[in-house]
Amino acid sequence: MISRAIGAALLGRLRDGHIDVLENGRRRAFGSRESSLRATVRVNDAAFWCAFARGSLGLAESYAAGMWDCDDLVALTRIGARVMARIDRLRRPLAPFVTALSRLPRNTRSAARRHVASHYDLGNELFEAFLDETLTYSCALWESPGMTLREAQEAKLEHVCRKLELNADDHVMEIGTGWGSFALHAAGRHGCRLTTTTISQRQYALAVERVRAAGLDDRVTVLRQDYRDLSGAYSKLVSIEMIEAVGWQFFDTYFARCSELLAPDGLMLLQAIVTDDRTYELEKASRTFIGELIFPAGCLPSVAVISRCAATATDMRLLDLEDITDNYPTTLRCWRERFLAAAEHLDRLGYDRRFRRLWKLYLSYCEGGFRERRIGDVQVLLAKPRYRPAGEQRVSTATATPGEASFASAGLPPRAGP
């Protein structure tokens, strides 16, 4: 079989990590036998080898179909990330041509609603099965050993509130409601008014219900509006892992709209999953597993792109950049463990085996990507021209590396990724 021979030849070039492939009772070993990063792949269907040649999308579709299994999907993803770091050097010169020829979907207003619905409207029961009680679907902050997932998510929400210097006089705009966790936390604990928006029907309905149940109707308004259609003036703006759904064609539009919504002395906190600056041009137009099957038309910005957009599309300046990437693997591991533990419950709800396998791979794939810093997570604090700190002490950059702190203080982006 030609595809098997080609696949074996490619695996034969493996240097970072070790993979055992089991097929028809035969074991073949690839990579370094001394490596501690190891995975065993069991081939259940020879069609796997054709899927292997199609990259992450082919591998994901074939895994969902049961063509292959793996004893450690996170380790396998980490090995793949190391291989891709070498392949990127070969792909980089082709990036301009790939982008020019790309026919990937754009997140126009109508398309954005469809794309968001294909993930976030899969059913609130799905997300309730693996998120914590706050229903926070973003990186937690593991400040101390022994924290529960809920405690780590609440620590992250409070961390954001402190950076924004929230108080009862603030009116906050949140772009990307989720299921209302930040709105409930900020209004409930800091007494501010908050307007939050989502274009997911399921998220909107549950967020409205949760706000009402918490008795915060007088302080929290939930909208179902595209960020491009928002109006008003707000003292603070927050957007937690929503920018990934904007699409690279609209990053400038997104930042311009955020700036227009802020008062002249306002603050903005952006939490964003980012790709390495060196791979952004490669990734933005690629047809990947995540972009096709999990988050249609999604695109990760890089730190450099965020900095450029803020500089050219807004009058805001960068005050602080904190890299929280190291917190994401633990967050994802918790989600994956809870997701797998809920398998029977999810099956009864109609999420079949194929769907569950796809999402198991998704959660493992992301964890491996963060562990290898193929992707990262950052919190960026931006300020309008008339903003002045509330006191002598401003948010610390102690959690950033010395290089990141100096870049942040200079208003320049640190390099994301390894």
- Residues annotated as catalytic are 366
The answer to whether 415 and 325 are in contact (CB under 8 A) is no
Phi, psi of 26 (to 5 degrees): -110, 140
The CA-based dihedral angle spanning residues 32, 34, 37, 38, taken in that order and rounded to the nearest 10 degrees: 70
Location of structure tokens 């029977």: 344
250 and 111 Cβ atoms separated by less than 8 Å? no
- Longest CA–CA span in the chain (Å) reads 70
